[in-house]
Amino acid sequence: MTSVTYHDVRFLEPAKTRNYLNVDYGAFSWLFTKDHKRIGILYMFSISIMFILGGFFAMMMRLELLTPEGDLLTSDTYNKFFTLHGIIMIFFFLIPSIPAVLGNFILPIQLGAKDLAFPKLNLLSWYLYMIGAFVGLLVIILGGVDTGWTFYTPFSTQYSNMHVFGTTFGAFIVGFSSILTGLNFIVTIHRMRAPGLTWFRLPLFVWAMYATSLVQLLATPVLAITLVMLMIERVVHVGIFDPALGGDPLLYQHMFWFYSHPAVYIMILPAMGVASEVVAAFTRKKIFGYKFVAFSSLAIAFLGFLVWAHHMFVAGISVYSAMIFSFLSYFVAVPSAIKVFNWTATLYKGSVSWQTPMLYILGFIGLFTMGGVTGLFLAALGLDVHVTDTYFVVAHFHYIMVGGAVMAYFAGIHYWWPKITGRMYPEWWARLSALLVFAGFNLTFFPQFVLGYVGMPRRYHAYAPEFQVLNVMSTAGASILALGYALPLAYLLWSLRFGRKAGVNPWGAVGLEWTTNSPPPKDNFHETPVVTWDAYDYPAMLKAMGETQNV
């Protein structure tokens, strides 16, 4: 039993040993793997396909919106495209993204564990994901669905004769995959920490994943049961949510958003976790206010459950409940702002190095802040009534989901790529892609704030001519963004063969994942590590390294 310290690992060359990638080969060794690292990679592969598919629908919409007339897509097709785009991006890409890929791969290693608590369940959740996604994709082939990703009744009951059943069923199944992942993480974090790894020594990514998992566990079943009721309603034609049959459409919205607002935190909390890791690693400092950042994740998860009806201000809820939900929505801003302040405070006087993960995270911090602040605008009743269902809302949620969550996902992929594959990605190209994504993103979505504010409604394929200039800007930005996203696909694949060998700890970062080989051995560590240091103890590490050099 040895405890690993910083100075020795920094210079430890990866022994030429077996790792999780070369222990065995062949399709079956992947399809029946119980190794969390391989399952993470299976997820990475699957959600990348989804991202490309969702991106395709987005690009088609943006091309349609280049001109005011509806000339490229009929309005029916446009309706299907935004629906499929939304469903794919949210349920099949973004919700699994950081948890199922990076969480799966990194979390057990950060805990010093050999695997998640329930490896078979983990594999099962990937299969559920695949089955759900397959059902969802089948719907596209069969003719699509046009209700919007929210499946609002009575669109989804009376007016849509399309494949609402199939799509909701797909989302239902994927929901269980999400629940099982969350369950696995919670148990793993509670029960599988290495000796010495107390709660307040945990990396903030772990705290973030913990909070995320709680939301997955407690919110997703409500969506599941809501979708079941919707399916029953469509099959037996009894009014549960359909007003024409005596059902209550508002109840549907309440139940849908009871999940789907917290779901926003399933998307953003992991992103915040990645941000904390990256900020610490590239400023070589302890995260300022560690405990505040840790507890703010839990606070966000909790408060996230209390604000759902801010999506329903104009749907006919009473003025009083609207006021209460508006008021509560402001509270969520507090823990979110705490995080942003703490990251910036960490940056202050840090020796910031401008590697790609850091660039992505700086983008994340800026764009998330924009998304958050415009979220506060929307939480204000008066303004929301003005901009509901306009492009202002579209811009707002893309700032959070794409500018925030997707940026952080890319940051995390770059940050942990050396660990996952054992290879470095090409830094120059990666920086270029980070810049393209940032520029392209702003050009795509900033004009949409203006468009929405001056009244362009969402979900139409045609618009008034005076909106064209801003729409052209947005489509141009989308093209740059697409390029920015395509680049990593190319150079990351390239790096698998030609990338420089990464070594144990290419960033000189602290954290258990940086004490084991890259790629890690099948059981993650050759010996169970014993943790004797606090999270982000860069000062101690720098000191230790100085001492080794003095020797």
Partner 1 sequence: MTAVVHGDDEHAHHPFLQHQFEDLGQQHEASILGMWMFLSTEILFFGGVLCAYWIYRVMYPQAWVLGGEQQNTLAGGINTIVLIISSLTMALAVRNAQLGSRRATVAMLIATLFFGSVFLGVKGFEYTMHWREGLFPGVHFTWHEVPELAPKVQLFMVFYWGLTGLHALHMVIGVGLLLWMIWRAWRGHFGPEYYGPVEVMGLYWHFVDIVWIFLFPFLYLIPHFGVHHG
Does 248 help bind partner 1 (rule: CB under 8 A)?
Answer: yes
Q: Give the C-alpha separation, 446 to 164, whole Å.
A: 33
The residue from 9, 12, 225, 376 that contacts partner 1 (CB under 8 A) is 225
The pair phi, psi for residue 311, each rounded to 5°, is -85, 0
For residues 257 to 276, the per-residue mask of contacts with Cu ion, x marking binding by CB under 5 A and - elsewhere, is ----x---------------
Q: Give the C-alpha separation, 253 to 259, whole Å.
A: 10
The residue from 41, 46, 53, 86 that contacts ligand HEM (CB under 6 A) is 86
H/E/C letters for each residue in 297-366? Answer: HHHHHHHHHHCHHHHCCCCCCCHHHHHHHHHHHHHHHHHHHHHHHHHHHHHCCCCCCCCHHHHHHHHHHH
Does 316 help bind partner 1 (rule: CB under 8 A)?
Answer: no
For residues 384 to 423, the per-residue mask of contacts with ligand HEM, x marking binding by CB under 6 A and - elsewhere, is ----------x---x--xx---x-----------------
The residue from 246, 318, 549, 550 that contacts partner 1 (CB under 8 A) is 246
- Percent helix, strand and coil across the chain, each rounded to 5? 70, 0, 25
Q: How many CB atoms lie within 10 A of CB 392?
A: 25
Smallest gap from Cβ 481 to ligand HEM, in A, equals 5
DSSP result, 75-128: HHHHHHHHHHHHHIIIIIIIHHIIIIIIIHHHHHHHTT-SS-S-HHHHHHHHHH
What, of Cu ion, ligand HEM, partner 1, none, does residue 232 touch, CB below 5 to 8 Å by kind? partner 1
Q: Which of 171, 222 has the CB closer to partner 1?
A: 222
Does 362 help bind partner 1 (rule: CB under 8 A)?
Answer: no
Which residues are CB-neighbours of 537 under 8 A, at least 6 positions away? 286, 510
Smallest gap from Cβ 2 to partner 1, in A, equals 10
The residue from 20, 91, 92, 149 that contacts ligand HEM (CB under 6 A) is 149
Smallest gap from Cβ 238 to partner 1, in A, equals 5
The residue from 124, 217, 432, 462 that contacts partner 1 (CB under 8 A) is 217
Does 223 help bind ligand HEM (rule: CB under 6 A)?
Answer: no
Q: Give the C-alpha separation, 419 to 99, whole Å.
A: 17
Residue nearest Cu ion, CB atom distance: 261
Contacting range for partner 1; rule: CB under 8 A; set: 157-165, 186-194, 412-420, 482-490: 186-194
The residue from 36, 38, 62, 423 that contacts ligand HEM (CB under 6 A) is 62
- HSE-CB at 351 with a 13 A cutoff on CA atoms is 4
Smallest gap from Cβ 398 to ligand HEM, in A, equals 6
Long-range contacts of 527-530 (CB under 8 A, 24+ apart): 527/1, 527/2, 528/1, 528/112, 528/194, 528/195, 529/3, 529/4, 529/112, 529/194, 530/1, 530/2, 530/3, 530/4, 530/194, 530/195, 530/196
Q: Which of 94, 413 has the CB closer to ligand HEM?
A: 94
**Cα angle for residues 256, 226, 116 (degrees, 5° grid):** 90
The residue from 42, 53, 90, 179 that contacts ligand HEM (CB under 6 A) is 90
Q: Give the C-alpha separation, 318 to 118, whole Å.
A: 45
The residue from 143, 195, 465, 539 that contacts partner 1 (CB under 8 A) is 195
Binding stretches for partner 1 (CB under 8 A): 1, 113-119, 179, 183-184, 186-188, 190-193, 195, 217-222, 224-226, 228-229, 232, 235-240, 245-248, 251, 255, 523, 527-528, 530
Binding stretches for ligand HEM (CB under 6 A): 55, 58, 61-62, 82-83, 85-86, 89-90, 93-94, 148-149, 394, 398, 401-402, 406, 444, 458-459, 478, 481
